[in-house]
Amino acid sequence: MIHSLFLINASGDIFLEKHWKSVVSRSVCDYFFEAQERATEPENVPPVIPTPHHYLISVLRHRIYFVAVIQSEVPPLFVIEFLHRVVDTFQDYFGVCTEAAIKDNVVVVYELLEEMLDNGFPLATESNILKELIKPPTILRTMVNTITGSTNVGEQLPTGQLSVVPWRRTGVKYTNNEAYFDVVEEIDAIIDKSGSTITAEIQGVIDACVKLTGMPDLTLSFMNPRLLDDVSFHPCVRFKRWEAERILSFIPPDGNFRLLSYHVSSQNLVAIPVYVKHNITFREGSSQGRFDLTLGPKQTMGKAVESVLVSSQLPRGVLNANLNPSQGAYTFDPVTKLLTWDVGKINPQKLPNLKGTMNLQAGASKPDENPTINIQFKIQQMAISGLKVNRLDMYGEKYKPFKGIKYMTKAGKFQVRT
Amino acid sequence: MSASSAFNEEKMGSSSVGEAEYAYDPVSGKIFSSDYNRHDDLKEMLDSNKDSLKLEAMKRIVAMIARGKNASDLFPAVVKNVACKNIEVKKLVYVYLVRYAEEQQDLALLSISTFQRGLKDPNQLIRASALRVLSSIRVTIIVPIMMLAIKEAASDMSPYVRKTAAHAIPKLYSLDPEQKDQLIEVIEKLLADKTTLVAGSVVMAFEEVCPERIDLIHKNYRKLCNLLIDVEEWGQVVIINMLTRYARTQFLNPNLNESLLEDGGSGDKTFYGSDEDEDDDEKENKEKAEAAALAKRKPYVMDPDHRLLLRNTKPLLQSRNAAVVMAVAQLYFHLAPKAEVGVIAKALVRLLRSHSEVQFVVLQNVATMTIRRRGMFEPYLKSFYIRSTDPTLIKILKLEVLTNLANETNISTILREFQTYIKSMDKDFVAATIQAIGRCATNIGEVRDTCLNGLVQLLSNRDELVVAESVVVIKKLLQMQPEKHSDIIKHMAKLTDNIQVPMARASILWLIGEYCEHVPKIAPDVLRKMAKSFTYEEDIVKLQILNLAAKLYLTNSKQTKLLTQYVLNLAKYDQNYDIRDRARFIRQLIVPTEKSGALSKYAKKLFLALKPAPVLESPFKDRDHFQLGSLSHLLNAKAGGYQELPDWPEAAPDPSVRNVEVFTLLERVTTLTSVPEWTKCSSREKRKEKKVEKPFYSDSEGESGPTESADSETNSASASDSASDSEQSRSSSESEESDEGSESEEEKENKNKKKVVKKAVKESESEQSSEEENRKLEKKIKQQEKDSETVSDDEESDSESSQSTSEDSESEAEVKKKAPVSRTPPKPVKKEKKEMSLLDLDDFEPATSPQVTPISTLLSNSLVTDLEGLSLSDSVLAPSTITPSGTLKSYELLHRITGEGLSVEYCFGRQPFSPDANMVAVQLQFTNNSTSETKNLHMKDVKLQSGMRVKEFPEIELLPAGDTASAVMGIDFCDSTQAANLQLCTSTRKFFVSIQPPVGELMRPVFLTENEFKREQGQLMGMNELTEKLILDAKYRNEHAIVQRVTTAAHLSRVPCGSDNECSFTSLKPLA
C-alpha cells in the first residue's frame, strides 16, 4: 500500500521523509515538482500523479503537500483519506500543523507515523489509541522530560486496540465530568445576479467534547430527527438504534470528536439569512468602474449576523480600488486582485455598505466577467434548519455529568454571482 | 571531550529534538572536521549507560533519518541498544533498525535473537511488537525464522498477535515470493479467524499474496459479510473491494435483462444523435432482444448470499471514512440490481463536501457512473453546480458530470448555468464549458440550434481562446446539418482575419473547404488570403490550406487554379516533410497529367465524400470496465497489481461451497471433522441407518429402519443425479428431485410423527418446486417476488446441497466432539473423552407438556450422578441430564437501563424444547424494575441468519411494576454459534436483543450404558478422535470436581461406568 511519505513545503523543499517498506529515493518527487510547475494554482496539482514506477498521491493542507508514494493498485481515496487523517492527528497533537511544528516535534511525528502504518497498511489511526501510545507534547511535559529524562512514549502498551470500544481509552478519570455538544450548521448557497437562490443546502455537524469518567453510555435524541436526510457517524454510534428509533446511542471517545455530520433534506426550503445588493459596473471606454455593495439581514429569526466577511476576486484588469466602507475595513491586494471587506456585525438599522470606484489598466478593454462575491458569517445560538436536541442521557455511570449544547449557523460556500 | 561537553551544553539549552539538531550544528561547524566527528559523539552517547543520553542520541538520529540524512554508519552503536530497558529508546532503535537493516544485513542479524525472545513473551503486546519489527527487517537470511514466527503467531491466543501475523505475511512475501505456498496456508488459517481485529488485515494479506485464490474465500464469505460492520474502517475498504470481485465470480448478474436491453439499444448516446426512424429501428431491436432474452432465460432469483452482501454493506454508506463510502458505492454499482443502485448517490454527493482531493476522486467515479446510470444522480444535479472558488480540476470534472446528466428536461437550466460559467475568469474552465455545450448540443437535438446560436455569439468574444474553442465546437456541430448554416460559415470566414489560434484557423479552413459549395463567393477569397500568409502559418493550418486549395480546385478550378498551384509550390519547399508529402500527393491526385493514373478521376469523390459527423463523447465512457474507486479507474490505465473485475458468470457456480462447517469456533481446540450445517437432514437419515443395529433404539424404530435406509439411498442417488445435471436443466431436475424427496419423506412421516423440521423443509421444497413450475410456464420475471423467493430459495439450496453431499457425510455423520476445554484454561479435564455420539434426538418422545419444567425442579447434580451410578432404566432417564448444581449460568439479555426499567435475563434450561425437538430451550426471566407496569411483552420481526428458527414465547400481557415473570422460547441455532437477533416489544417500546449460545448448550445428552458407549467409541476412531492431555490443579483432582466443571461447560450426560478413574460423557453434538 503506502510505500513512503514525503512532506513538501510551499517553497518545494522536502523536509520530512518516512519509508514503510524499502527506501524510495526522494528523486521520485521530481515528478511531483513538474506537475506543480504545470499547475497554475497550488490546489490545481492533480492529487494522483503516475510516474514510471510509482504513483504519487498527494494532499495539500496548511500549505504543506503530503505526498504518498505507492507502487501498486490501491483505492486512491484510501490513501487520501489516510493522509488527511495524518494531518488531523498532527493538528490534534501539536495544535497546528505547520512546517515549524512538525520540525520541532520530528521525533513524535516519526513515532506517530510508525504507529499509524505497518508495512503501508493503517494500523492505529484512532486518536484515543495513539494518545495512549504516544503522549502529546505539552510545555509542562517537555519541561519535566528534560529534567527527569522520562519519555513521551506511554509506558503501558495500548489496551484500547484490544477492547470492544477501540475508540475509547480505558481508565478515564475526571473530577469534573462534562459533555459538550456543538451543533454547527453551514449554509452552502449560490445566489443569482437577481438575488434569487440557485441552490442552497444545509450541512451540519455535531462536534462533541466529552470528558466523562469511566465507560459512560450516552443517548442523544432530537426533537425533529426527520430533518436529517443523510448522516454519517463516528464509528461509536450504534447504527441499528438510529435506524430503528432515530436515537444516537454511543459510548463516546474521550475528548474531542465529531459525532455526526448530516445533510438536511433538500425538500425543506433553506432560509437565507443575508441578502446582498450590488452594483459593480465597468463602462466601455472608461478606465474606471463603479463598485457598490450593501449587505442586509433576512430570515435570521431575530438573531444577530456576526463576523461577516466579504471577499471577491476582481477582474485582472483592475489596478486598484478606492472604496469607502460604512463600517469595518477593507483591503485590496493589487497582485492577486482579491478584495476583502471585514464587516463585523450587521446592524439592521444601519446597513453596511461599501462604495467607490475601481481603476482599470489604461487602455485595457472592459472586462467581460463580473466577480463573484463570497460571504462568510456566523449566527450564534441558532441552527438554521431548526434542528433541536431533545435530551441527552447517560447510562452506565453513577455520577451526574454537566451537559451543554450549543448551536451555531455559519456560511459554508456562500456565493453571490454578479 | 569537546564533543561531550558540547553535548551537555546542548542538552541544557534546548528541549526538543528538532531544535537540538539545529542548535548542535554550529558546534559541529566549530570543529568542522566533518560528519564523522559529529557521529562520534553520538556513538559515545549511545555507549553510555544512562538512558537519558541514549534517548537524546536516538532522537537526534531519528531526526537525521527524517530529514533524509544518512545515518547508516551508526548502525553498530545503535543496534547494541535493541534490548534497552527504556521503552522509547527501544522504539527509536526499532525505527532505525527497520530503516537500515536492509543496507547492513550482517549487523542486523545481531538483533534477531532479541526479537525471538520477544516472540515468547507472556505479554501479547510485546509478542506482537517483536513480530512486527522482526518481519519488517528486510534481510533474506532470516526468512525461515520469519516464516516460523508467522506460523506460530497465526495460532496465538491473542487476536492482536494474530493481526500482526497477518500484517507480516505480505512483508515476507515481498521479501521472498518463494514462500507463497506456505503463506497461503497461513492465510487460509487466518481467514477462518472470527475476530474483527484480524479480518481486515488478513484480507489485505490475501489481496497482496494470492488474490487469485478466490476459493479460499468461500467458507469465510458469510462470516466476512457479517463481521464487516465491526471491522476497523481500513479493513472494511479492503474487504469490500475483495468481496466485489468475489461476488462477480460467484453470483449471477442481477441486471442481465436490463443489460441485454441496453446492448440491444446500443447505448443512449446514439439515441439522441439518430433520427426518428432509426429510433424506431432500435426500439424494434430492443423488443426483439427482450423477447429473445426472456425466451432464453429462466427467472432470475438472487442468491441469498448476494443479498447478504448487499444488505450488510449498505449501512457502511454512513461511514465517516470516504474510502469506505466509495468502496460500498462501487460494490453497489457493480453488483446491485439496477433498482437498488440509487442509494449510493446520496452518500457520494455527501462526499463532495469533503476535501478537494476527495472531491476529485469521487467526481471521477461519479462521471463514470453517470454515463451508465444517469437517473441516479439527476435529483442531485444542483450539487454539481460550480463555484468560482473550486479548483480548476474540480470545475472540469463537475462540468463533465453536468454534461452527462443533461437531458431534454433539465437542459435549459444546465445551459443557463453554462452561460454564467462562460463569463468565468478561469479560461481553461471556459474552454471546457464550450466543449460541454457542444456535447449537449450533439446529444440533445432540441437545443442544437440554441447552442449553436450561443456559440456563434461567443465568436465575438474578446478572448481569443474562447473564440477559438467556439470555432472548433461549431465546426463539429455544423457537420451535422451544414446546409442550414451557410451564414455561420460566412461569419466564420470573416474571423480568419483576426483569429490566431492555429486549431481554430484550421477548423475554419476545413469548414470552408468542406462546404465551399455553400459559400462559392467567399471561399476563393479566403484561399487568396491564406496563400498570402501561407509561410507564416502553423503546420496544422498549412495542411488545411492545402486541403482547401485542393477542394476548391476540384469544384471551382476556373477561379482557383493559379492559387492552388501557387500554394502547392510553396508547400513543395516547406520545411516540414508532412506538408511536402501532402503537397506532392495532392498535386498527383488533382492535377491531371499524362502520368497520373486512374485515381485522379476519382479525386472529387475522394476529397468531397460525405463525412460522418464526429461523435462527441465523454472521456469517461467505458471506463467502468475498471473497478470503480480503483487507481486504475482514475488513471484509465491498468496499474500494477490491479485485479480485473471479472465478468458475471453465465451460470452461477455451486452456492453450497459457502456453507460453513459448524463449530468452526472450536477449530483450534478440536481438529476433528464436524458435521457441516447443510448435511444435517441427510446425515440424520444416515444416522438412522446406523442406529438400526442398535438394540437400544430398536424398540422405537427397529421396523422402519430398513425401509428408511432404502429411502435415503434413493434420495442421495437422485441428488447426485441432479448434481451432475447441467445448469440449464437444473430447475427441472430440482423439482423432480424435491418431489421425490418429499414422497420419501412422506413415507417417513407416517412412521415417525415427530419430524417437525422435516415437514417444514418438505413443505418449503414442494412449494418451491410448484412455484418453479408456474414460473416456467409464465416465463416472466417478477421483481417483487424476489424477496420471498430468496427465502425459500435459501432453504431449497440448503436441502438440495445436503442431499447431494449426503454420501460424503456418511463418515462425518458420526462425530465426537470435545467441549471447549483448552479455551478456558483452568477448566480441569483429565484424560477423559467426552463423546457426543450422533444419535438422533427425534427418536426421543417429546414431553407432552408444552412448557419446559422449571429448572428448580431439576435433579441436583449429585443426585443425578448417583442415579446414573445405579444405571436405572434408560428411557426414563434419558431426557434428563446432569445439571451442574444450581449453576445454570444466566446471561443478560436486556439491561435494566437500556430497557428503561425492564430487565431480561436468559439461561439455557438444558431441557428438551417440547414443541420442536430441534430447538434449544431458552428460559427468559423478565423483571420489571420500573414504577409503571409493562404491557404486551412479545417478540416481533425476528431477523435471523439463514436456517435459524425461533419459537416465540407466549405474549406476557401484563407485568406489574417490581414483578418478575418467566417464559420459555425455543431457538434452532442451526448448529452455529451465531447470535440470534431478536426484537423484544412492549406496548410502547422495542428493544433489539441477541442471544448467543455457548457451544456447550447446543448439545443434547444421550444416555448410553458403558458397553454401548464403548462400542460407539470403537466406531469413531481415527479422524473423529481427539486426545488431549491436561494438567490439573490440585484442587480439581477429584472426580466430583471434574464432573462438575465439565457439565457446567457443556450439556452432557455421563456414562455410568465401573472403574474409578474414568469418566465418560455423551451428548449428541448437533442438537438441530
For residue B984, what pLDDT is reported?
77
- Distance (Å) from the C-alpha of residue B208 to the closest C-alpha of chain A? 9
Specify whether A210 is located in the same domain as A242.
Answer: yes
For residue B467, what pLDDT is reported?
81
Contact across the interface for B160 and A80, Cβ inside 8 Å: no
Compute the 3-state secondary structure of chain A and give helix, strand, coil in percent, each to the nearest 5: 20, 45, 35
Q: Does any domain span residue A157?
A: no
- Distance (Å) from the C-alpha of residue B938 to the closest C-alpha of chain A? 17
Contact B818, B668 (CB under 8 A): no
Give me the total of CB pairs closer than 8 Å, taking one residue from chain A and one from chain B: 258
Specify whether A213 is located in the same domain as A337.
Answer: no
Length of chain A: 418
Q: Which three cell numbers stand for residue A214?
A: 469511566
For residue B734, what pLDDT is reported?
42
Q: Which residues from chain B sit within 8 angstroms of residue A81, using beta carbons?
A: 321-323, 358
CB nearest to A55's CB, from B63, B171, B639: B639
Between the alpha carbon of residue A79 and those of residues B198, B357, B523, B629, the distances in Å are: 21, 10, 57, 12
Has residue B846 got a pLDDT over 50? no
Q: Specify the CATH number for the domain of residue A139.
A: 3.30.450.60
At B1048, the pLDDT band (50, 70, 90 cuts) reads confident
Q: Which residues from chain B sit within 8 angstroms of residue A16, using beta carbons?
A: 66-67
Please give the average per-residue pLDDT across A69-73, as a whole number: 91
Contact across the interface for A60 and B357, Cβ inside 8 Å: yes
For residue A90, what is the enclosing H or E element?
helix A76-94
Q: What is the DSSP secondary structure assignment for residue B624, as one 8-state letter?
A: G
Q: Which residues from chain A sit within 8 angstroms of residue B632, using beta carbons?
A: 73
Contact across the interface for B393 and A123, Cβ inside 8 Å: no
Q: Does any domain span residue A167?
A: no
Has residue B822 got a pLDDT over 80? no
Choice between B521 and B5, residue whose per-residue pLDDT is larger: B521
Q: Which residue in this structure is represented by grid cell 466476512?
A: B224
Q: What is the DSSP secondary structure assignment for residue B385, as one 8-state letter?
A: -
Please give the average per-residue pLDDT across B642-657, as a whole number: 84
Q: Does any domain span residue A368?
A: yes
Has residue B751 got a pLDDT over 60? no
* Mutation choice for A interface testing from B425, B459, B992 by most A CBs within 10 A: B425
**pLDDT tens digits, residue range B205-215?**
999 999 888 88
For residue A86, what pLDDT is reported?
93
Number of CB atoms found within 10 A of residue B684's CB = 24
Please give the average per-residue pLDDT across B492-507, as a whole number: 82
Of B513, B518, B520, B548, the residue nearest B533 (C-alpha)? B548
Q: Which residue of A has its CA nearest to B314?
A: A239
Contact across the interface for A143 and B346, Cβ inside 8 Å: no
Specify whether A258 is located in the same domain as A318.
Answer: no
Parent domain of A307: 273-378
Q: Does any domain span residue A91?
A: yes
Between the alpha carbon of residue B522 and those of residues A129, A202, B458, B497, B554, the distances in Å are: 78, 57, 22, 13, 16
At B998, the pLDDT band (50, 70, 90 cuts) reads confident
* Mutation choice for B interface testing from A14, A17, A77, A165 by most B CBs within 10 A: A77
For residue B449, what pLDDT is reported?
84
Of B158, B180, B182, B106, the residue nearest B137 (C-alpha)? B106
Choice between B343 and B839, residue whose per-residue pLDDT is larger: B343
Contact across the interface for B67 and A16, Cβ inside 8 Å: yes
**Distance (Å, whole) CA B354 – CA B826:** 52
**Distance (Å, whole) CA B268 – CA A232:** 34
Q: Which residues from chain B sit within 8 angstroms of residue A80, using beta carbons?
A: 322-323, 355, 357-358, 361
Q: Which residue of A has its CA nearest to B353?
A: A203
At B523, the pLDDT band (50, 70, 90 cuts) reads confident
Q: Which residue of A has its CA nearest to B172?
A: A119
Contact across the interface for A46 and B360, Cβ inside 8 Å: yes
Specify whether A135 is located in the same domain as A16.
Answer: yes
Specify whether A209 is located in the same domain as A335.
Answer: no
CB nearest to B358's CB, from A77, A142, A232: A77
Specify whether A117 is located in the same domain as A256.
Answer: no
At B606, the pLDDT band (50, 70, 90 cuts) reads confident
Has residue B809 got a pLDDT over 60? no
Of all residues in chain B, the percent with pLDDT exceeding 90 is 13
Of A142, A158, A150, the residue nearest A93 (C-alpha)? A142
Q: What is the DSSP secondary structure assignment for residue B951, as one 8-state letter?
A: E
Q: Which residues from chain B sit within 8 angstroms of residue A104, using beta carbons?
A: 16, 18-19
At B1027, the pLDDT band (50, 70, 90 cuts) reads low
Number of domains in chain A: 3
Has residue B68 got a pLDDT over 70? yes
Contact across the interface for B17 and A43, Cβ inside 8 Å: no
At A51, the pLDDT band (50, 70, 90 cuts) reads very high
Q: Which three cell numbers stand for residue B9?
A: 551544553
Largest CA distance in chain A: 78
Q: Which residues from chain B sit within 8 angstroms of residue A241, using beta carbons?
A: 992
For residue B328, what pLDDT is reported?
94
Phi and psi dihedrals of B293, rounded to 5? -60, -45
Contact across the interface for B159 and A261, Cβ inside 8 Å: no
Contact across the interface for B318 and A233, Cβ inside 8 Å: yes
Q: Which three cell numbers stand for residue B348?
A: 457520494
Has residue B691 got a pLDDT over 90? no
At B273, the pLDDT band (50, 70, 90 cuts) reads very low
Contact B482, B450 (CB under 8 A): no
Has residue B630 got a pLDDT over 80? yes
Contact across the interface for A74 and B346, Cβ inside 8 Å: no
**Distance (Å, whole) CA B599 – CA B589:** 7
- Distance (Å) from the C-alpha of residue B77 to the closest C-alpha of chain A? 19
Please give the average per-residue pLDDT across B944-956, as a whole number: 73
Specify whether A249 is located in the same domain as A112.
Answer: no
- Distance (Å) from the C-alpha of residue A169 to the closest C-alpha of chain B? 16
Q: Which residue of B has its CA nearest to A413?
A: B387
Specify whether A385 is located in the same domain as A370.
Answer: no
**pLDDT tens digits, residue range B867-907?**
444 433 343 333 334 444 445 677 777 777 777 777 888 87
Contact A244, A212 (CB under 8 A): no
At A268, the pLDDT band (50, 70, 90 cuts) reads low
CB nearest to B632's CB, from A16, A73, A315: A73
Q: Which residues from chain B sit within 8 angstroms of residue A123, using beta carbons?
A: 167
Q: Specify the CATH number for the domain of residue A291.
A: 2.60.40.1170
Task: Give the residue from A146, A163, A195 where a domain finishes.
Answer: A146
**pLDDT tens digits, residue range B548-577?**
888 888 888 788 888 888 988 889 888 988
Q: Which residues from chain B sit within 8 angstroms of residue A26, using beta carbons?
A: 68
Q: Cα B444 from chain centroid?
A: 38
**pLDDT tens digits, residue range B454-474?**
888 888 777 777 888 888 888
Specify whether A263 is located in the same domain as A357.
Answer: no
CB nearest to B388's CB, from A81, A217, A313: A313
Q: Is B447 helix (H, G, I), strand (E, B) or coil?
A: helix
Q: Which three cell numbers stand for residue A121?
A: 497498511
- Distance (Å) from the C-alpha of residue B85 to the closest C-alpha of chain A? 11
CB nearest to A415's CB, from B66, B388, B632: B388
Number of CB atoms found within 10 A of residue B73's CB = 14
Contact B414, A199 (CB under 8 A): no
Specify whether A117 is located in the same domain as A9.
Answer: yes
Q: Does any domain span residue A278?
A: yes
Lowest mean pLDDT among B348-357, B387-396, B468-477: B468-477
**pLDDT tens digits, residue range A311-344?**
998 888 888 888 999 998 999 998 888 999 999 9
**pLDDT tens digits, residue range B326-351?**
999 999 999 998 888 888 998 998 89
- Distance (Å) from the C-alpha of residue B631 to the closest C-alpha of chain A? 5
Helix extents (H) in B702-827 = 704-724, 730-751, 756-778, 786-804, 809-812
Q: Which residues from chain B sit within 8 angstroms of residue A60, using beta carbons?
A: 357
Q: Does any domain span residue A169?
A: no
Q: Which residues contact B432 (CB under 8 A, 6 or more apart)?
A: B395, B396, B399
Write down the mean pLDDT value for chain A: 86
Specify whether A220 is located in the same domain as A260.
Answer: yes
Has residue B802 got a pLDDT over 90? no
Q: Which of A283-297, A372-386, B26-40, B656-670 has the highest mean pLDDT?
A: A372-386
Q: Which residues from chain A sit within 8 angstroms of residue B125, using beta carbons?
A: 157-158
ipTM, 2 decimals?
0.92
Task: Give the residue from A130, A146, A162 where a domain finishes.
Answer: A146
Q: Which residue of B has its CA nearest to A366?
A: B462
Specify whether A234 is located in the same domain as A284.
Answer: no
**pLDDT tens digits, residue range B699-738?**
333 333 333 333 434 344 444 444 444 444 444 444 444 4
Contact A319, A377 (CB under 8 A): no
Q: Does any domain span residue A152?
A: no
**Distance (Å, whole) CA B271 – CA B276:** 9
- Distance (Å) from the C-alpha of residue B961 to the closest C-alpha of chain A? 21
Of all residues in chain B, the percent with pLDDT exceeding 70 is 65
For residue B375, what pLDDT is reported?
85
Q: Which residues from chain B sit within 8 angstroms of residue A1, using beta carbons?
A: 204
Write down the mean pLDDT value for chain B: 71
At B420, the pLDDT band (50, 70, 90 cuts) reads confident
**Distance (Å, whole) CA B1049 – CA B819:** 7
CB nearest to B125's CB, from A59, A157, A396: A157
Has residue A303 got a pLDDT over 90? no
Q: Does any domain span residue A155?
A: no
- Distance (Å) from the C-alpha of residue B140 to the closest C-alpha of chain A? 13
Has residue B221 got a pLDDT over 60? yes
CB nearest to A374's CB, from B135, B389, B642: B389
What does pTM read for this prediction?
A: 0.68
Q: Is B942 helix (H, G, I), strand (E, B) or coil?
A: strand
Q: Which residue of B has its CA nearest to A368?
A: B423
